[in-house]
Amino acid sequence: MLESLQLAHLTWPEAEWALCRLPVALVPLGAAAKEHGPHLPLNTDAILAECLTARVAARTPVLVVPPVTYSYYPAFVEYPGSICIGAETCSAWMADLCRSLAAHGMERFYVLNTGLSTVRFLEPTRTLLRGQGLRFDFTDLPEALREVEERVATQEGGTHADEVETSMMLHLAPDRVRMERAVRDYTPRSGPGPLTRDPRSTTGIYSPTGTWGDPTLATEEKGRIVVEELVRRMVEDVERLAREP
């Protein structure tokens, strides 16, 4: 019976074997430098990607690729420490990553995606690679979270460093959460635009804290429910991809 392997831990002969036998390469995608309000660290997404990857890999055989920790996050560039790479660059980078592994036998790739704006480059990457004969898919985070958020979330609204994301961190990495600093910061969205620290801005959503939602409502139990549902959806995605002809 096949078991998941970490590509980074293998020698090249072992990698050659794994690339031809494991059904799917799993690519964790989570920012290591993106603001998450005053109560969560800049590497929140990277922590979530690492923890979710471990749980998915324990339930279905995959070849875990070293994580991608820089990507397209334009909504947070006004907040110090946040790093954003252009969407076209990210798409080209991801396509090259997959082609490199495909040259040695891997045909299916799943990006365990922990972002929202990242879909902007993952969609065209999927179209590109599928046109080249590779199977490529990724986590559609809003869709994957929609039903479980309706069950557990009580905040008025939000999607960033909010009740749900903070709850996930309380479940997966409670030592990295500073709940005493969490504050509600939510202005209903009137149109597209990034978060902004400028109260006079007419093109963004004013957020002096970098939070969009109400993290004060977060609990570890809510996080457990969300994580379990998200892992279930990700495993389903991976296994569906593995069955594709």
Residue with tokens 């509600």: 184
Residue 87 maps to a domain: yes
pLDDT tens column, 136-172: 999 999 999 999 999 999 999 999 999 999 999 999 9
CATH number of the domain bearing residue 181: 3.40.50.10310
pLDDT digits (tens, 9 = 90+) for 18-53: 999 999 999 999 999 999 999 999 999 999 999 999
Q: Is residue 133 part of a domain?
A: yes
- What's the number of domains the chain is made of? 1
Domain that holds residue 74: 5-238
Helix extents (H) in the chain: 12-21, 44-59, 87-102, 119-131, 141-152, 163-172, 220-243
79 in any annotated domain: yes
The answer as to whether 243 is a domain residue is no
CA distance linking residue 79 with residue 160, whole number of Å:
13
pTM greater than 0.95 (yes/no): yes
